[in-house]
Amino acid sequence: MALFKKRTVGKPGEWYYCLEHKKVEEGPDCPGKDRFGPYTSRAEAERAMESARERNLQWENDPRWHDAPAPGRTDQD
């Protein structure tokens, strides 16, 4: 008997993009650490990597995420 069982999270009808297998899966096939989701549709899950790239680009260009102080502000403010 295994001491620890491999547990997955999810339900049939929820769609995920598996980062390990590079494919869309329905329900709790792979561990949560290896997937994006849940998504409400297969089509939405198929766009997971594109959506992640778009969000990353937005975050990289968001001035609130940069370490430099805003113009006119000092570290003592």
Q: pTM above the 0.75 mark?
A: no
CA–CA distance, 77 with 29 (Å, rounded to integer): 50
pLDDT of residue 19: 95
pLDDT tens sequence across 38-76: 999 999 999 999 999 999 999 888 888 766 666 666 555
**2-50 pLDDT per residue, tens:** 565 655 556 778 999 999 999 999 987 889 899 999 999 999 999 999 9
Give dist(CA 65, CA 57) in Å, integer: 12
Sign of torsion over alpha carbons 20, 33, 31, 53: negative
- Residue 65 pLDDT: 75
